[in-house]
Amino acid sequence: MRTEEIAQGFLAAPEEGTHPGVVLIHDVWGLGELYREFARRLASAGFVALAVDLYHGEPKIEDPGRFMRELDDPAILRELGAARERLSSDAAVGSKPVGVAGFCMGGGYALQAACGDLGFAACVAFYGLVSHAHGILHAPHGLDPRKKPRDVLAALPELGCPTLGIYGDRDEFVPQDDVRALEAGIARAGRGGGVERYAGCGHAFLNELRPAAYEPEAAADAWRKMLAFFRTHLGS
């Protein structure tokens, strides 16, 4: 396996051959060891993974909800487009397609990146944030429309690739009504995919560094579903 710290984040690739790419998006806490490990696991499974560093450093986060509500979504989407281009230019990817996956905040950005023209060929969002009207992104006094022009649910009519959402049915940050709305929006877009729900799981159930949230059996099954989805829609 080849690994490298690059300007956009952490790159992991199989030693030889050409392989599909995956842009991997961290949660609100940034590009930590968990997401570097996820990139290595993707590389071991036959993908070239770029775990992006959206912050290019370590910001001080005292209130994660407020921090996310103040992020500049258009700027982040530009970074994700650049990350996709970086993977597409890598010799280990060649002409293979590139997908996107993300977790929590990163799952929401993965869903946004799948809408529009950033060039992603498949999307998997783990407990991604989808609405400004409900959940942790809701601000009673409104959001800055320059930084938060629209939420995922509003963007779904522009969904451009097969998309899989993965959620626990006890997620404390993403209401089940929002999950159902996401599922309906994916179906209406007609690109393929859907939503997988895990009974008894809350938010961040793949995060093995958070024992209170981690659900090993569900996490392993969800990871397998992601790999199968990417192999179907990106190849191998």
Assigned token pair, 110: 């993965």
Count of structural domains, the chain: 1
pLDDT at 232: 98
Tokens of 196: 């997988």
- This prediction has a pTM of 0.97
Q: What pLDDT, in 10s, does the model give residues 157-195?
A: 999 999 999 999 999 999 999 999 999 999 999 999 999
**pLDDT over threshold 90, residue 116:** no
| Closest-CA residue to 165 (of 175, 180, 147) | 180
Say if residue 19 is exposed, middle or buried (CB neighbours under 10 Å; 0-12, 13-18, 19+): buried
Average pLDDT over residues 193-219: 97
pLDDT at 58 over 90: no
- Neighbouring CB atoms inside 10 A of 138's CB total 15
- Retrieve residue 191's tokens: 């690109």
- CATH code where residue 111 lies: 3.40.50.1820
- Average pLDDT across the chain, whole number: 97
Parent domain of 126: 2-234
User: Residue for token digits 């649910």?
Assistant: 153
Query: Is the confidence at residue 70, as pLDDT, over 90?
Result: yes
Residue showing tokens 């700027």: 75
Amino acid at 220: A
98-103 and 21-25 as β-strands: parallel, antiparallel, unpaired?
Answer: parallel
CA distance 86 to 182: 29
